Structure 1
Amino acid sequence: MTKIDIISGFLGAGKTTLIKKLIEEAFQGEKLMIIENEFGEIGIDGGFLNNSGIEITEMNSGCICCSLVGDFGVALKEALDKYSPERIIIEPSGVGKLSDVIKAIENIKSEVDIKLNSFTAVVDAVKCKMYMDNFGEFFNNQIENANTIVLSRTQKISEEKLEVCVSQIREHNSFATIITTNWDEINGKQILSAMEREESLEKELLVEVKNNKSENHQHSEECCCNNHKNHTKEECECDNHEHHIDCNCNDHNHAHHTHDHECGCGHDHHSHDHHHADEVFTSWGMETPKKFSKVEINNILKTLSESSDYGIILRAKGIIPCSDGGWINFDLVPGEYEVREGIADYTGRLCVIGTNLNKNEIEELFDV
């Protein structure tokens, strides 16, 4: 039986980085295959993974969750027949709905020998609130349907903001395992173990408490009303108290309590009630042999990050030859970008994803 692991995550959350970590530290010795589905015409992430020696199938003409559900089923069956992998990792588009990917797999489970092993959402802890507010239909769907939520970039925020992030996620998913530890501090086997756990620690403790119930155990630690008489939270008679155990914000009226947005892209965002990614998001992609200097690509990314002339840029990435020698990989998410040395690919590839993109202006900016 082939295990199926879905690793979802909004644009730029770190899905590919997590997959690389799992390949190097957790999946060694397994016959592994990756099915990638990128939104847009140009596949980038496959290039980052090609050197892993893993069989990779890319689907770039649309979303698994939208128009390719039928084709996805065919592709999965062909992969099983041709390669007989022990495990398949499915990396859906960042703007895909995890619920639809799960459904697509469930629809063919009776026809093939597979087990839906885990369904994970990678969440950027820095931008969680902003994406939750502005792209909730897609972003929240991934959180709500995951059995494990892996927070990325937790080392970039304070402990207080991390607690707020977890609290916000818990409002959408109260049962998933949430990994909050910086990825550099844990190995891939620990992450995989959390992904595959059927019971969370919370559930284990609840079972333990029920099995060891005693009349003298009053749970007074759950009350934060500063009146520590022995009573349960249900028995508390303090006014206007909702007993939010995990909240340290000193404002217990959460119906009106909001936190600052982490968006640094300089644009006003609005929620949209659409059903398909291609109704909300657009992409521009290009394959090119053109060489860029590090200075040039930094200037381009700075412009994309700061100017509103190109639309609302949510993600940009690329693998391109460098005029100074070697190759460059770059990544951009709202408010920040990174340029680093990379490994050569069959040609240079560029991709920009966002809303209301001005594709002509973007093409002129890259001068391709």
Structure 2
Amino acid sequence: MTKPIPVYILTGYLGAGKTTLLKPLLGYLKAAGRRPAVLMNEFGSVSVDTLLLQESEVPVVDLPNGCICCTLQGSLKDSLLRLIDGYGPDTVFLETTGVASPVDIVERLLEPELQDRIRLAGVFTMVSAAWFPFTTSSSSEMTVNERTMLEQVQQADVLLMSKTDLVSLENIDHLERVLRELNPKAPIFQVLNGNMDPSKLFEIETHQQKVRVEAKPKSFTRRKVGKVTSTVKQKPTSFGNLETLYYEFEAPVNPDKMYELLYHLPANVLRAKGFYIDAENGLLTEFHHVPSTPVSRAFVVGDFKPFAVMIYEGLDEKELKRKLKACEAVVPVGVKQK
């Protein structure tokens, strides 16, 4: 009888850097002769991150269209078993959408039908040092999204602080104290642009053999901060008050206009990512955005139509689409705009 396959949950709120970390982890395992695979959950109807993992050359199975813990309860088990039976991996990463709580995911992984096939090997939680919004207090009620972020920290076997280069040493120390109060047992590592020693993660495995008990959250106040598969368009999905927008570009995009749009997106847009054809050089370009930090880079040639995905709250979808449309170039590719 084969040993149960270790499954690692990679969680963390929108834009924390989960996929950026996952790529070197996959490379580390492949270099060691392992056969990793990925189960990727996306909040919207398409998975940008699945396309970003193409260069890793590992099997990736999509679970689009929702939060893995609330709309995909049966699909998680079925997709995990299909992944195992179809590709024969010896390690599986389950990268969750940023709005998923690991509490429910752990429960799904402990279903009887999975007990002889997998074992929960660890919950890795990414925490953005630039955007984690809590300081301890006893005065405020929490939103659904705040509660999710809190649970992601509380349920972690390892806490990974990302984007530490964007904040001061004082803020890093402060965040570390908050994280240790929320989860005193999990080791804390800093991750910069996805770089850390992967062996440290794989030395830590959970010994949890039953459903974790959800800790009662303390009250928190918001910390003020400054500013490869499915690409099929589907209806918007929602989680709590969050909604997703999917937009297909009909023409190459002026990169300067796109940068201006991303940089000035309102705070209600929690995440924006996707691909466009750069009108100045004709290259397929990947972009992603968390508040005030848009990034674009040339991407490998793909056979999908360029698109944008936004996760937002309380905004006019038609207006967002109008702004994306306005970024499309009106001159031929290769002719630089002025």
Coarse TM-score class (shorter-chain normalised): 0.7 to 0.9
Cα contact 2:5–2:90 (8 A) shared by 1: yes
* Cα deviation 1:187-243 (Å, max 9, x = unaligned): 3333433x4387xxxxxxxxxxxxxxxxxxxxxxxxxxxxxxxxxxxxxxxxxxxxx
* Residue identity in the other structure for 1:151: M
My pick for the range that moved more, 123-132 or 72-81, is 123-132
Larger radius of gyration: 1
* Cα deviation 1:51-91 (Å, max 9, x = unaligned): 21111111111111111111111111121221221011000
| CA 147–109 in structure 1, closer or farther in 2 if over 3 Å, else same | farther
* Residue identity in the other structure for 1:60: P
**How do 1:139-218 and structure 2 match up within 5 A?**
139-180=149-190, 182=192, 186-193=196-203, 195-196=204-205
Q: What SS does the corresponding residue of 1:85 show, helix, strand or coil? A: coil
My pick for the range that moved more, 152-161 or 54-63, is 152-161
Instruction: Give structure 1 stretches of 5+ with no counterpart.
Output: 199-254, 265-275
* Residue identity in the other structure for 2:298: E
2:283 corresponding residue in structure 1: 326
Q: Distance in 1 between matches of 2:240 and 2:220?
A: 31
Q: What SS does the corresponding residue of 2:264 show, helix, strand or coil? A: helix
Does structure 1 residue 316 correspond to structure 2 residue 272? yes
2:67 corresponding residue in structure 1: 63
| CA 11–181 in structure 1, closer or farther in 2 if over 3 Å, else same | closer
Aligned-residue offset at 1:341: 2.0
Which has more helix, going by share of residues?
Answer: 1
* Residue identity in the other structure for 1:334: P
* Residue identity in the other structure for 1:127: W
**How do 1:272-351 and structure 2 match up within 5 A?**
278-288=239-249, 290-304=251-265, 307=266, 312-324=268-280, 325-345=282-302, 346-351=304-309
Aligned-residue offset at 1:297: 1.2
Cα contact 2:157–2:187 (8 A) shared by 1: yes
Does structure 1 residue 105 correspond to structure 2 residue 109? yes
1:124 corresponding residue in structure 2: 128
* Residue identity in the other structure for 1:261: K
Q: Distance in 2 between matches of 1:184 and 1:278?
A: 27
| CA 3–68 in structure 1, closer or farther in 2 if over 3 Å, else same | same
| CA 183–41 in structure 1, closer or farther in 2 if over 3 Å, else same | closer
1:353 corresponding residue in structure 2: 311
**How do 1:62-81 and structure 2 match up within 5 A?**
62-81=66-85
Instruction: Give structure 2 stretches of 5+ with no counterpart.
Output: 137-141, 208-217, 228-236, 329-338
Aligned-residue offset at 1:117: 0.7
Does structure 1 residue 3 correspond to structure 2 residue 6? yes
Cα contact 1:13–1:122 (8 A) shared by 2: yes
* Cα deviation 1:312-343 (Å, max 9, x = unaligned): 11110112221122121111112321222222
Q: Distance in 1 between matches of 2:320 and 2:294?
A: 16
Q: What SS does the corresponding residue of 1:151 show, helix, strand or coil? A: strand
Aligned-residue offset at 1:347: 2.1
Q: What SS does the corresponding residue of 1:180 show, helix, strand or coil? A: strand
1:85 corresponding residue in structure 2: 89
Q: Distance in 1 between matches of 2:245 and 2:112?
A: 32
| CA 126–277 in structure 1, closer or farther in 2 if over 3 Å, else same | same
Aligned-residue offset at 1:115: 1.3
Does structure 1 residue 362 correspond to structure 2 residue 282? no
Q: Distance in 1 between matches of 2:64 and 2:220?
A: 41
Does structure 1 residue 261 correspond to structure 2 residue 217? no
Q: What SS does the corresponding residue of 1:70 show, helix, strand or coil? A: helix
Q: Distance in 2 between matches of 1:120 and 1:20?
A: 14
* Cα deviation 1:25-62 (Å, max 9, x = unaligned): 34432111101110011211111101211111111111
| CA 184–34 in structure 1, closer or farther in 2 if over 3 Å, else same | closer
Cα contact 1:73–1:108 (8 A) shared by 2: no
Q: Distance in 2 between matches of 1:187 and 1:278?
A: 34
Does structure 1 residue 44 correspond to structure 2 residue 80? no
